[in-house]
Amino acid sequence: METASATAHRLGIEVIDRHARGNEADLVHELLSTPESTLIIWHHGVMAKLVGQFPVDNPHDVPPVWPDKRFDLNWLLIRQSGPQLLHRFVAVPQMLLADNVDLTQ
């Protein structure tokens, strides 16, 4: 909650904390039924499982696991236009520290 609260405050959005770890399917179902963009802050150990539940048009780009030593990545799911509900997966390093290296590849 500390990361979520600080990030939400900076973005001026509300933290909604009604989905517990292990309940990713309900979270995905809720998010797929809303047209709004959503920021998800989740435990990095299950992010690949969470992202894997979304319909993505580039599933081969989704890493099978979140790298254990990376805490500065943003995984984006960008809704694609068209008749099907699909998302494009993109990994974006935050590069917050001077010595950070892009290790997303």
Q: Mean pLDDT, to the nearest integer, of 3-9?
A: 77
Given a contact cutoff of 8 angstroms between Cβ atoms, the answer to whether 38 and 31 are in contact is yes
Mean pLDDT of the region 4-33: 84
Mean pLDDT of 43-51: 86
Average pLDDT over residues 31-56: 85
pLDDT score at 54: 93
Average confidence (pLDDT) over 7-27: 83
Judged by phi (left if over 0) then psi (alpha if -120 to 50, else beta), residue 24 lies in: alpha
pLDDT in tens, 59-103: 999 999 887 777 777 888 888 888 888 999 998 887 666 665 655
